[in-house]
Amino acid sequence: MDSDGSFVPALIVVDMQEDFCPPNGSLAVQDGRSIAPVINSLLSQPGFVARIATQDYHPADHISFATNHPAPNNRPFESMVAVQNPAPGKSAETKPQQLWPVHCVADSPGAAIIPEIDIRRIDTFVHKGRHSQVEMYSAFADAFGNRDPAVTAQSVNLAIAAVLAAKRVTDVFVVGLAGDYCVKCTAVDAVKAGFRSWVVEEGTKCVVPASWEKTKEELGAAGVSVIRADDAVVKR
Ligand code: VGL
Ligand code: ZN
């Protein structure tokens, strides 16, 4: 409840895309496809005033692709230090960058939302990570904390926080892939943007499955509540 007692929930379905799902995804999260029924059940709940789906949507020259860096510092799943320049008029900075296999290239089959997700219920699609020179795990801001859609290049014309604010959202429920990256960063940034933030435990899977316990601690420390699907029934 808000200070004025209001509870206006939105659902954010993060990156339920082919490249994050077995069997063929280039960055497949173990059992990633298996959470679709939980997500569809949440999508069918009448209480949400917004149902947003995010898609990782990278250009082919994205900084996170291991193949875009010279050897020897170009091994997928390892970190390197990259010079990054997120915004016009800003000077470049060095920043650690975790490298990934090529994934979710804009308009490629791997960037598509998996057919198991009932996208007819989605009202807003947010494409993130479109700037080649900066990572963007969170749907709210890039790795430099930049929220300007002109830089983060979201497909919708409004920043996600503005979409939520326009609908007077107070509470954001986050599910999808991956729990230890884009779900975590999106849920944490929702708190920073002024929303109550909830992650539904059965609605996410991690790149590193064993990291979920640590991720839950990080979410809790950031003010995000991790709940079970049975407790995420939203009635208005
Ligand atoms: C993600 C790694 C790289 C995610 C996106 O959606 O969690 N993970 N890009
Ligand atoms: Zn990515």
Tokens of 202: 């059965």
Binned at pLDDT 50, 70 and 90, residue 92 comes out as confident
Mean predicted confidence (pLDDT) in 45-69:
96
Task: Give the Å distance between the CA of 66 and the centre of ligand 2.
Answer: 11
Q: Quote the CA–CA distance of 66 and 98 in Å, as a whole number.
A: 9
Is the ipTM value over 0.95, yes or no? yes
Instruction: With a cut of 70, say whether residue 118 has pLDDT above it.
Output: yes
Measured from the CA of 182, which atom of ligand 1 is nearest?
7
What's the pLDDT score for residue 127? 92
197 φ, ψ (degrees, to nearest 5): -130, 135
Q: At what angle do helices 212-221 and 184-192 cross, to 10 degrees?
A: 0
Task: Give the Å distance between the CA of 104 and the centre of ligand 2.
Answer: 7
- Where b means 16+ CB within 10 Å and e means fewer, 154-176 reads beeeebbbebbeeeebbbbbbbb
Say which amino acid occupies 92.
Answer: A
Q: Which of 63, 64, 104, 181 to mutate to test the pocket of ligand 1 (most atoms within 8 A of CB)?
A: 181
Q: Quote the CA–CA distance of 136 and 134 in Å, as a whole number.
A: 7
Task: Give the Å distance between the CA of 21 and the centre of ligand 1.
Answer: 12
Pick from 213, 214, 132, 143: which is nearest to 182 by CA?
143
Residues annotated as catalytic are: 15, 128, 182
Query: For ligand 1, atom 2, which residue shows the shortest CA distance?
Result: 181
Residue 235 CB neighbour total at 10 angstroms: 8
Query: For ligand 1, atom 8, which residue shows the shortest CA distance?
Result: 181
Give the pLDDT confidence of 137-187 residue by residue, as tens digits.
999 999 988 887 767 777 665 678 889 999 999 999 999 999 999 999 999
Tokens of 119: 């996208």
Task: Give the Å distance between the CA of 3 and the centre of ligand 2.
Answer: 37
Give the pLDDT confidence of 42-55 residue by residue, as tens digits.
999 999 999 999 99
pTM over 0.90: yes
**Which residues does a 6 A CB cutoff place in the pocket of ligand 1?**
15, 20, 56, 64, 100, 137, 177-178, 181-182
Q: How far is CA 134 from the centre of its chain?
A: 15
Portion of the chain with pLDDT greater than 90, in percent = 78
Instruction: With a cut of 50, say whether residue 200 has pLDDT above it.
Output: yes
Q: Quote the CA–CA distance of 176 and 205 in Å, as a whole number.
A: 7
